[in-house]
Chain A
Amino acid sequence: MRAIPTLKISVSGVRGVVGESLTPEMVTRFAQAFGTYVGGGRIVVGRDPRTSGEMVRQAVLAGLVSSGCRVADLGVCPTPTVQLLVRQLGAAGGVAITASHNPPEWNALKFVGGDGLFLGPARGRELLDIYHQGNYAKIPGAAQRSPERIADAVERHVRTVVDALGRLPAGPRRLEVVVDPGGGAASRAAGLLVREIGAEVFAIHTDADGRFPRPAEPVPENLGALGDAVRAHGADVGFAQDMDGDRLALVDETGRPIGEELTLVLAAEPVLAREPGPVVTNVATTDAVEAVASRYGCVVHRTRVGEANVAEGMRSHRAVIGGEGNGGVIYPRVNFARDSLVGMALVLHRLAASGETVSALAAAYDRFRVVKLQRHCPADQVRPVLRHVRETWAGRPVDLADGIKVRLDDSWFILRGSNTEPIVRVIAEAPTTEAARALAERVMADVAACLGAEQSSTPHP
């Protein structure tokens, strides 16, 4: 059997392993394809701090300049900063250099349109066609424009969030916050946002040298150090971000991770209370979103998984807030992107206005317990696996918008193949963690049986 490929070129960009598949030549060709696609003009470029970031950045700059673009180079910054600056600078597009939660050997290019949104499937496919055709725009050397360095992009981002949402009301006591940006792109931005909005900040894991001090994903098992720091400082809340600063997870005042599914739910409250309107999230996100929306008489629309899909859905439904269960909050009044800084500001306002603890706010959604499992699955096995599971649950209400989602009496699960890795994930929600885990494990057992059957039916040579 062939080796597992480490290069993934898809409508959501290009992703690979540095030193193997993600070569500077390919990166510079992709950047030329993007420059050709947008027809020149201004392009915003930012990167996360992983060690290959400088190499990839230089290759991107060369490709963009060669194809006639004027580059606004933000340096190391969160991905949502790139998206925000595209709109603020009236740019033709943006490139975020980040493999978000992937391990440190990975890196990737994500492409942003002039509207500040990631290229969705349609625009992504057009870009891929240009990349594969290989006939990129080239402008004469004399007409090339030197990249422009924008050194204060993070400050602009923080200022935009604080100006839009306001500083916290002066109360008897300032909120105390521990931030854990995980040595990622938001390592400077996180503390700055908390300070500027008017809370006390303690920070861990702010050394953004590309060596991950903890696994990049802000899931509960990676947040032990944050929980310890919250307890040690007696802080009100702990904030954890992923490597590129789009996702946010919360740790309550006892140091317990409340689960990244609840970030969107808690962030939505102050928005819906002030400006009720539609909410958009993906099909794999907790039903607690419906619970909070119905409290304010608002409807929820569900989309396929992925920021581009959610953002598209938000635009067509004129949503006031949206996001995903992985901790990505989109508040279009500030930034049409999953933005952990916006999420932090909304949660802090919610805490300040309610005067309640994080654990008390989370308790209102106690009956929504989510368990997520994943396993390796070759890309060509994903469809047979989904078909098998669908047959297993025939007769139950099923939603095929993305993977397969099956609704049971007081619980549901969704099984889908990853867009970026050769794995399948199951997400199960039930009133108790035990029930959710049992459901998720049952689905995974089905998946294993199906893969095992496949394997035994095609014996190794």
Chain B
Amino acid sequence: MEPLKIGITGVRGVVGETLTPELVVRFAEAFGSYADGGRMLVCRDPRPSGPMVQAAVTAGLLAVGCEVVDLGVCPTPSLQLAVPWLGARGGVSITGGHNPPEWNALKFVRGDGLYLSAEQGEELLDVFHQGAAGRVGWERIRNGVEDADAIGHHLDALAAAFDTAAIGSRRLRVAVDCGNGSCARLTPRWLERLGCEVLPINDDPSLPFPRLPEPSVAAAAQARALVLAGRADLGLVLDADGERLSLVDETGRALSEEMTLPLAVEAALSRERGPVVTNVSTTGLVERVAARYGAMVVRTPVGQAYVSEAILEHGAVVGGEGNGGVAVPRVQATHDSAASAALLLRHLAETAEPLSAQVAALPTLVVRKLAVPVPPSVLYSALAEFREAVGAVEGATVDQTDGVKISWPDGWVHVRASNTQSLVRIIAEAESDERAGERLEWARERLRT
């Protein structure tokens, strides 16, 4: 039996096994009750299990008196922008995000368009477990579902935040691999509106995912070929629901998704000074770039909700995570690959510096990652034992913002439990591949599984 993960970031499982319609219905009832009825937006990514999950979500929301607006197949950030636009009480995005196609999940968005905070996630879980949903009678239940064009609104919001004419004057050629995800409905249109010459691939959401939905070097093969064949200035590799992005430079070299945020930080700070927010597990390149502009870096626990809250709290000009998710607060304080692509394109257009040169101008830091499968029954105790085993490390600082992060002057290693899968993630960064590998090994030896 594949695992089911019910946590503060939502509920996630394998359709056909653990993510059953009755579970989804009960979660949607809990969320609708928690939000106290009102208007709720619902969207999904194009996975084949989406219509089933969406029907179950809609049934649950209607049962507790919500007014449901169906956004159809649409990126999560488009839903997040539409929640305040439509005066909704919240939203549910049905997306497995970067997880493989057999997975699906519910992500819960609150009235300001951000994900539920950790505390709110806990409250929702309490409502769910209590099972006391506020079902309404026949006089109050809504007898239908409306539609709205969240993608059209997202395009307008993006156009209001960026000077499209200035970017368009450079006539950049952009290859974009939408992975047949929801972004296929948004990103190519947005790039055209930015005046780019767009070379799209995998841009039909009715077709199966051609690759794993997670943007990474491995997922960039087609985008690399397209950049070379089309002599593009830039290649974009998108995830299934429009949050995350990895890049291919004009020489056809695929960049790690870790590079998206540092490049976006450079692009943002070169125009506008202000704080930068990222999580504890993201590359130290963020600090190195921020230091050039004297900008402060705020580190949060891993997870978009934490990053978004810190962006608002500190008035950050950019934020994001090492998974390729970048938030441009002028558009919204949450990961939005269309907004982050525009930020990078604006910088390309303004500096006329090719992406490979921008990368070369950054110090070399190597990130190595290891995902260790751990049974759900011992996931958190394994982490606690690791913390004890490590104790105090000479010449290093130990940070427990999220899991355990041990930092040396020339790098760090971070060990934490995944929010979404039954895994312990180990991430190490150093100035050489060898050193990063040693740190990874150092941590792995101390993790009992």
Contacts and interface: CB of A to CB of B under 8 A. Distances in A.
A61 B62 CA distance: 14
Given A59-B56, A141-B104, A66 B138 contact: no
A54 B62 contact: yes
23 contacts: A19-B136, A23-B135, A24-B29, A24-B62, A25-B29, A28-B59, A52-B141, A55-B59, A59-B21, A59-B55, A61-B51, A61-B52, A62-B24, A65-B51, A65-B52, A66-B16, A66-B52, A104-B138, A141-B102, A143-B48, A146-B48, A209-B143, A210-B143
Interface string B119-151: 000000000000000011111111111000000
Nearest to A106: B138
A59 B25 contact: yes
A18 B56 contact: no
B55 A62 contact: yes
Contacts of A144: 15-16, 48-49, 51-52
Contact of B21 (A32, A140, A210): A32
Interface string B91-123: 000000000011110000000000000000000
Contact of A62 (B21, B63, B141): B21
A143 B52 CA distance: 11
A105 interface: yes
Contact of B25 (A62, A65, A147): A62
Contacts of A29: 22
Given A23-B63, A141-B102, A62 B143 contact: no
Given A59-B59, A61-B55, A62-B59, A51 B49 contact: no
B432 interface: no
Contacts of A94: none
Interface of B: 14-17, 19-22, 24-26, 29, 47-49, 51-53, 55-56, 58-60, 62-63, 101-104, 135-145, 208
Interface string A14-53: 0001111001110111001000000000000000011111
A363 B340 CA distance: 81
Q: Nearest 10 A-B pairs (CB), nearest first?
A: A141-B49, A141-B15, A59-B59, A62-B56, A19-B137, A58-B59, A55-B62, A140-B16, A62-B55, A24-B59
Contacts of B51: 61, 65, 144, 146-147
Contact of A138 (B20, B60, B208): B20
Given A25-B25, A25-B26, A54 B142 contact: yes
Interface residues on A, range: 35 or more
Contact of B15 (A18, A52, A104, A140): A140
Contacts of A138: 16-17, 20
A372 B63 CA distance: 36
B101 A54 contact: no
Interface of A: 17-20, 23-25, 27-29, 32, 49-56, 58-59, 61-63, 65-66, 104-105, 138-147, 209-210
A401 B380 CA distance: 65
B59 A66 contact: no
Contact of A105 (B16, B22, B138): B138
A140 B62 CA distance: 26
A332 B41 CA distance: 45
Given A58-B62, A142-B48, A51 B141 contact: yes
Nearest to B53: A62
A18 B63 CA distance: 8
Given A19-B63, A59-B21, A59-B59, 11 more contacts: A18-B135, A18-B138, A25-B22, A27-B59, A32-B22, A55-B58, A58-B58, A105-B137, A105-B138, A141-B47, A141-B102
> Most chain-A Cβ atoms within 10 A of its Cβ — which of B59, B104, B144?
B59
> Most chain-A Cβ atoms within 10 A of its Cβ — which of B21, B58, B101, B102?
B21
B107 to A, nearest CB: 17
A61 B139 CA distance: 23
A177 to B, nearest CB: 28
Contact of A24 (B19, B60, B140): B60
Contacts of A20: 135, 137
B22 A54 contact: no
Contacts of A18: 63, 135, 137-138, 141
A105 B104 CA distance: 34
> Most chain-A Cβ atoms within 10 A of its Cβ — which of B16, B51, B55, B139?
B55
A28 B22 CA distance: 6
Nearest to B66: A55
A65 B55 contact: yes
Nearest to A137: B16
Contacts of B55: 58-59, 61-62, 65, 147
Given A59-B55, A63-B21, A51 B135 contact: no
A141 B14 contact: yes
A150 to B, nearest CB: 16
Contacts of A55: 58-59, 62-63, 141-142
A401 B102 CA distance: 53
B175 to A, nearest CB: 28
A123 to B, nearest CB: 23
B22 A19 contact: no
B200 to A, nearest CB: 24
A24 B32 CA distance: 13
Contacts of A50: 138, 143
A142 B101 contact: yes
Contact of B102 (A49, A52, A104, A140): A140
Nearest to A63: B21
A19 B48 contact: no
Contacts of B58: 55, 58
A55 B62 CA distance: 6
A34 to B, nearest CB: 13
A25 B63 CA distance: 10
A457 B140 CA distance: 43
B21 A28 contact: yes
A27 B178 CA distance: 37
A9 to B, nearest CB: 16
Contacts of B49: 141-142, 144
A66 B137 contact: no
> Most chain-A Cβ atoms within 10 A of its Cβ — which of B17, B22, B101, B103?
B22
A299 to B, nearest CB: 45
Given A27-B59, A55-B59, A141-B47, A66 B21 contact: yes
B62 A141 contact: no
Contact of B141 (A19, A32, A65, A140): A19
Given A141-B48, A141-B49, A147-B51, A51 B102 contact: no
A20 B138 CA distance: 10
> Most chain-B Cβ atoms within 10 A of its Cβ — which of A27, A66, A145?
A66
B29 A52 contact: no
A19 B25 contact: no
B144 A54 contact: yes
A331 B366 CA distance: 78
Contacts of A142: 47-49, 101-102, 208
A91 B87 CA distance: 42
Contacts of B29: 24-25
Given A59-B55, A140-B16, A51 B139 contact: yes
> Most chain-A Cβ atoms within 10 A of its Cβ — which of B24, B52, B135?
B52
A404 B144 CA distance: 44
